[in-house]
A and B are shown apart, each in its own frame.
Chain A
Amino acid sequence: MSYQRYCLICRSSKCNKFSNSIGENFKEILKEKELKESVKVVFTECFGLCNKGPIVKIMPDNTVYTGVMPMDVREIVEKHLIKGEKIERLIHQENKPKQIKIVLRNCGFIDPENIEEYIEKDGYMALAKVLKMSRTDLINEIKLSGLRGRGGGGFPTGLKWEYAYNAKGDEKYVVCNADEGDPGAFMDRSVLEGDPHSVIEGMAICGYAIGAKKGLVYIRAEYPLAVKRLAKAINDAREYGFLGNNILGTDFSFDIEIKYGAGAFVCGEETALIKSMEGERGEPTSKPPFPAEAGYWGKPTNVNNVETLANIPVIINKGANWFNKIGTEKSKGTKVFALAGKINNVGLIEVPMGITLREIIFDIGGGIKDGKKFKAVQTGGPSGGCLTEKDLDTPIDYDTLLTKGSMMGSGGMIVMDEDDCMVAVAKFYLEFTVDESCGKCTPCRVGNKRLYEMLEKVTSGKASMEDLEKIKLLSNVIKDTALCGLGQTAPNPVLSTITNFWDEYLAHVRNKKCPSGQCKELITYTINKDKCVGCTACLRVCPVYAISGKVREPHVIDQEKCIKCGACYTTCKFNAIEKK
C-alpha cells in the first residue's frame, strides 16, 4: 500500500505539547474525509524550528506549517490535502539553504518504524554494496571520505576501523555509542528515533570492515522511544535479512544487541562505556590499551557514535569523493548541532563543516532573541569553551574550534546574549562535570570540585586576585593530569571564559559586581524614591517581607532580609526598582 501524502507531526521538545491532539485530529478528519488510505500521519523528530512549533510538514509537497494548533488541522486537510491550496498564514517562509542533510536525511521524511520506507530511500544499498568490496577497500573508502568521529574527539573514523581490523582477536565488536549526555543536546536521540536503520546499516558495514560478528548499541534507558524504535528496527532488519547469519547470501554474519546505560555522562567515554556494558561501574581506564586492541571483554572493539555511523551508508552510496568535497580541508561532511539558548530558531540543524558561526546564529538561527546583543556561544558542551564576537566569521571545524580553546564536541551549541554572566556560565558547566565525574582520579574528583568552589567564591564576591591565579593554575593541572576526556576537558569552560571575558572575572573580584546582573549575591535591589508611587505591589509580592512602606509613599527594601529573588523588580510597573 502506498500513500500519496504524509503528514509529519513533530513530537519533539516544544511541539510535544500539542502533537498528540494534532495527530488525533488528523486521524479523525482523514477518516471523515475517507483519506485514511491515501494520507499517512507520522510522528517525527525535531525540524529545528522549536520556537515556531508545533510543526507539521506535508510531504512530498515539502510544505512546513508552523504554529499549528489542533484546531488548524481541519483547514489543513480540507484546503491543502483536498484542494491543494497552501495555508498562507501557517506556512513557514524561510528555507534553510545553508543546511545540508546527510545524517538527518531521512529524519522527518520517513516513518522510522517502517523498514520499507527506509529501503525506498536507498536503505541497505550501501550494505549490499560493501559486501561485494574487500574489507581493505572499504576501510580505504572511509579513510578517503575524511569522516571524523562525531562524538567529540574527531578521531579519523577510517583509521579507527583500520586499527580494529588489524587487531588480532578471535572475536571483535562494533559498539554504537548512543550515550548522548551533553546538556541540551539531542542529535543522536533524533537520529535513532527518526532513522534507526541508518545506524544499524552503519554498524553492519563497520562490522564487515573490521571483521566483527556482533554489534552493541549502548543507549541510555531514558531514551525510551529511541530504544523502542531501535529495537523494532533491529528486528525488522533481521527479518529482512540485513542482520543475522549470511547477510544477503554472503558469508558475513552480524547481529546487534542493545545495552542499556543508566544515564551517566562519563559512560559516553569509550572505556567507561565498555566497563558499563560489562556490568561494572562506569569508570574510564587508562589508554593504552585502546578499545581497538582490548575493548569489550578484552576483545578488539570499535566504538563509534550514532552520528558517525549514520554518515556511513551515504558515504558508501554516494562515494567518498562526493563526501570529501563537503566541508573544510581536514573536516569533511556535515555536523548536526542542537542549537539552543538566546536564539530565535532553536532546534536541530545540520550544516556543512566550515560554515561560520555568523551563518549559524544569524542566518539559520534567526539572530538573538529580543534583539539583544550576541555575547558568546558555547560549543562542545561541558568539555568545550566559548567563542565570541571575534570568532563569528571563523569557519567551524574540528581544528579551528580547538585553536579557539573550544571543541566540536558532540554538537551542543548554546548561544548567550549580553544578559549572560560568563563566570556563571563557566560555573554552570563545571557543576555539570562535577556532578557527572565518576570519582576515579584525584584531579577530577577533588580538583574539579575545588575549582567549582573557587568559582562560587567569585560569583559570590568572596574571591581574591590570588584565587583567580589559583583557578588558572588548578585548571591547567587538571587538564594535564586527569585520567579521561571528561576530567581533562572539564576546566575548558573556565579557561576559555577567563581568556575571553577576563574583565568579567575582575569585576566580580575587584568590584564585587556582576556586570550582567546574574550573580544573585552581587546584586542589590533598591527602590528609587522619585519613581516609587507607593502602589504596594512590590511589598505584596516580596516572599520574605523585606519591603516596607505606606500606601502612596516611597517603599524601602531591607537589604538584610532581601533574598534577591527579583520578584519586586519584575512586578514594579514604574521602573522604580533598581538592580545593581
Chain B
Amino acid sequence: MEKCKLVIDGKEIEVEKGTTILEAAKRLNIKIPTLCHLDLHDIKMVNKAASCRVCVVEIEGRKNLAPSCATPVSDGMVVKTNSIRALNARKVVLELLLSDHPKECLTCAKSGECELQNLAEEFAIRKIDFEGEMSEYRKDYSPSIIRDMDKCVMCRRCETMCNEVQTVGVLSAINRGFDSVVATFFEKNLEDTTCTYCGQCVAVCPTGALTEVDYSWDVITAISNPEKIVIVQTAPAIRAALGEEFGLEPGTPVTGKMVAALRKLGFDYIFDTDFAADLTIVEEASEFLDRLNRYLNGDKSVRLPILTSCCPAWVKFFEHHFPELIDIPSTAKSPQQMFGAIAKSYFAEILNVPREKIVVVSVMPCLAKKYEAKREEFKVNGNPDVDISITTRELARLIKQANIDFLALPDEDFDRPLGESTGAGVIFGVTGGVIEAAVRTAYEFYTGKELRDVEFRQLRSDEGIRTAFVNFGGFELNIGIAYDLGNARKLLEEIKTGKSTYHAIEIMACPGGCIGGGGQPYHHGNLDIIRARARAIYHEDRHKEIRKSHKNPYIIELYEKYLGKPLGEKSHKLLHTHYFKKVLY
C-alpha cells in the first residue's frame, strides 16, 4: 500500500494513501469536530456527504478550506486543524446551522444526545449573528417514528442508511436550496410509504429530526389504573444495553436490576419475552422440520428455505418488496406477539380475568415493534395482544422519572410462569441467535439425539451476510444469516432467481441484530458498543441452566395444559400469523 507523509498541527504522520485527513488526525489524537460524517465500518455504511462543513481544515497551498472527512491525504500535505481561519469558519457554519434550527432543546427528545447541541456547547455559541427565516415543514407522525424536519441539518445520514444500507428507499432530499428537505416519495406521510420502521434512521440522526414515538406516559397511566392488570415483557436485547443509560460500560448485563426496576415501577407481573422466544423456537423448529421432511420426501408444494419472521421491519420489508415470496417465511409470530397472545389467553385464564382487563407492555430495542403491536391481525375484537410497546430509551426515562436509583437496585428474578426462559431465548437478541436457538431444538427433534455442545460457533459472527453448515446427524443443513435489509435483499433475490441453496435463513433488520436496534441507547457511531452487547447476550446464555427452548419446563407445561402440540390447532390459532402483499408506492 502506498504511503503518504503529512503534517497535521505540526505533527508528522505516515498513513496509507486514500486515508482521509480526519482519519489521519484521529491517529494523532487530534479530534476534529464532525456533524454529518458517520463511518460505520461494520455495516459498510459511510456517510460521505461532506455537507455540513463543520470539519473544515486549512491545507497549506489550497485556496479554500477542505472538509477533513472527505479529503484524502496527499504526500507532503501540511494541515492545520485549529487555525483561526478554520475555527472561525467552523463557528460561522455552526451559527448558520443553528440559525435555521428550532431552539427547543429543553423539550426536544434528543436533548443531551444531540450532536448539534454538543457542538454548540463546545464552541461556546452564545448568540447567533445570522438570524433569519426558518425552514418549516409539517411534522409527520407514524406509529413508530416522528419526523420533525425543522430540526434536520441535512447531514443525509438517514438517506444513506435507508437507501444504501437498508435499500428501503423511503427517504430522499427534495426541493432546492433553503427549501431542501429530506422527504418521502411524493411527500407522503411515513405511514403511507414502504418504511419498515427499522428505526436505523433514528439511530443515526444527529439531532431531534427523527425520533421514536414515546409511549412512556401511556405506561404510567396504565400502571396507575387500579382496574388494569399490567404485565411487562422485556426483549432479550434490553438487558444488554439498558445499563448504558445509567453510565455502565457497554456490555454490562443488567437483567436482575432491570427486573427490580420494573417491579418498582409498579408492573403487576414482570415477564420475559425470552419465554416467548422459546415458544417461537418450538413452533418455528417444528414448522421447519415439517417443511424439510416434506421437501426431502419430494413434496413439490413445499418451498425452502424457510425464513425467520421475528423481526417486524423485515416482515414489512418483504411484504412490500417481495410479495411473491410471502409463503416462504415462517408463519410463527414474533416473540412479542406470541407473548401477547399467550398472556391474554392462557395467562388470563390462569388469572381468571377477561383479556380486556390485562394491559401488555413490551420493552423492545426496536421501533418497528410499536408498529407491529398495532397491526390488525394481532387484535381480538379490537383489543391488541400487546397494548403498548416502548423502547430501551423510554424504559430508562421511566426509571429515572420514578426516582429509582438503578445502580443501587438488588438483582431480582422474573415472575412465573411467563418469565422463565432458556439460553436459547436470550440469544434471540443477536444476529445468528434465532437460527442457533432453532438449530438447538431442531437438531434434537430431527435426530432424536441429545445435543451436547449447544454453541454453534459457525453461526456467530458480526459479518452482515454469511453462510454456515450444521450437521444434522449426517444431513448437512445449509444456513444463511443476514442482518440489515440490504443484505436480506441479496438473499431474497437469490431465492427469487432460484439460485438459493439454503434450507433456512435468519434475517434481522438492524446491525448486529436486535442489540443494534433503533430503540437502543444511541451508539453515536461507535459500533464497538454493539459488539459489547453481543458479548453480554452470549454471557447470559452461557450462565443459563437450560439452553434449549424445548426444555423450558414452563413451555412444556404450556403445551401440556393449554396448547396441545406444536403446530396444533390451538397453536396455529394463537401463535401463527399470515402476511399481506403490500404495494411499493
* Interface, chain A (partner B; CB < 8 A): 264, 266, 281, 283, 285-286, 288, 434-450, 453-454, 470, 473-474, 477, 479-483, 488
Contacts and interface: CB of A to CB of B under 8 A. Distances in A.
A561 B135 CA distance: 32
Contact of B51 (A441, A447, A477): A441
B326 to A, nearest CB: 30
A446 B53 contact: no
B89 interface: yes
Interface string B285-304: 00000000000000000000
A476 to B, nearest CB: 9
A437 B64 contact: no
Contact of B129 (A440, A449, A470, A488): A470
Given A286-B71, A439-B179, A473-B92, 15 more contacts: A266-B176, A281-B172, A439-B173, A439-B177, A440-B154, A440-B173, A442-B96, A445-B154, A446-B96, A446-B97, A447-B93, A448-B177, A477-B88, A481-B65, A483-B51
Interface in B370-417: none
Contacts of A286: 48, 50, 67, 70-71
B133 interface: yes
A449 B65 contact: no
A474 B130 contact: yes
Given A286-B50, A436-B177, A480-B65, A442 B93 contact: yes
Contacts of B173: 281, 283, 439-440
Given A286-B70, A449-B133, A453-B133, A438 B92 contact: no
B147 to A, nearest CB: 17
B24 interface: no
A482 B173 CA distance: 18
Contacts of A435: 176-177
Nearest to A444: B177
Nearest to A435: B177
B77 to A, nearest CB: 12
Contacts, number: 109
Interface in B550-570: none
15 contacts: A286-B71, A288-B71, A437-B177, A438-B177, A439-B179, A440-B180, A442-B51, A447-B96, A450-B99, A450-B132, A474-B130, A480-B56, A481-B65, A482-B53, A483-B67
Most buried by A among B50, B175, B177, B180: B177
The 5 closest A-B pairs by CB, nearest first: A439-B180, A437-B177, A286-B70, A446-B96, A450-B130
A186 B199 CA distance: 48
Given A434-B177, A450-B130, A477 B89 contact: yes
Given A446-B100, A453-B132, A473-B92, A480 B176 contact: no
A434 B176 CA distance: 9
B101 to A, nearest CB: 10
B89 A480 contact: yes
Given A470-B130, A481-B56, A443 B177 contact: no
B357 interface: no
B87 to A, nearest CB: 11
A375 to B, nearest CB: 30
B217 interface: no
A283 B129 CA distance: 28
Contacts of B172: 281
A311 B256 CA distance: 78
B49 A481 contact: no
Interface residues on B, range: 35 or more
Nearest to A481: B53
A437 B176 contact: yes
A443 B96 CA distance: 7
Which of B72, B130, B175 counts the most chain A CB atoms within 10 A?
B130
A445 B178 contact: yes
B31 interface: no
A286 B156 CA distance: 15
A438 B174 CA distance: 9
Contacts of A483: 50-51, 53, 67
Interface string B20-49: 000000000000000000000000000011
B85 interface: yes
Contacts of A442: 51-54, 93, 96-97, 153-154
Contacts of B175: 439
A267 to B, nearest CB: 11
A385 to B, nearest CB: 16
A488 B64 CA distance: 9
Nearest to B159: A281
Contacts of A283: 173
A558 to B, nearest CB: 31
A418 B30 CA distance: 54
Given A442-B154, A445-B154, A446-B99, A437 B178 contact: yes
Nearest to A440: B51
Contacts of B72: 288
B573 to A, nearest CB: 48
A437 B176 CA distance: 6
A413 to B, nearest CB: 25
Contact of B92 (A264, A439, A477): A477
Contacts of A453: 132-133
A462 to B, nearest CB: 13
Contacts of A441: 50-53
B176 A449 contact: no
B154 A439 contact: yes
A97 B103 CA distance: 63
Given A286-B67, A439-B154, A481 B93 contact: yes
Interface string B49-82: 1111110100000001101001110000000000
A436 B56 CA distance: 24
Interface in B246-288: none
Interface in B86-116: 88-89, 92-93, 96-97, 99-100
A78 B53 CA distance: 69
B334 to A, nearest CB: 36
Nearest to B129: A470
Interface in B216-256: none
Contacts of A488: 64
B52 to A, nearest CB: 6
Contacts of A434: 177-178
A54 B239 CA distance: 82
Contact of B64 (A445, A446, A480): A480
Given A450-B96, A481-B53, A445 B132 contact: no
A447 B95 CA distance: 10
A438 B180 contact: yes
A486 to B, nearest CB: 10
A479 B93 CA distance: 12
A571 B18 CA distance: 69
Most buried by A among B49, B51, B64, B153: B51
A443 B53 contact: yes
A434 B53 CA distance: 18
A444 B100 CA distance: 13
Interface string B130-157: 1011000000000000000000011000
A382 to B, nearest CB: 13
B18 to A, nearest CB: 10
A442 B96 CA distance: 7
A368 B184 CA distance: 51
A490 B48 CA distance: 24
A449 B93 contact: no
Contacts of B179: 439
A474 B93 CA distance: 9
Residue among B53, B54, B65 with max Cβ neighbours from chain A (10 Å): B53
A281 B99 CA distance: 26
A283 B71 CA distance: 18
Contacts of A481: 53, 56, 64-65, 89, 92-93
Contacts of B177: 434-439, 444-445, 448-449
A447 B52 CA distance: 12
Contacts of A447: 92-93, 96, 130
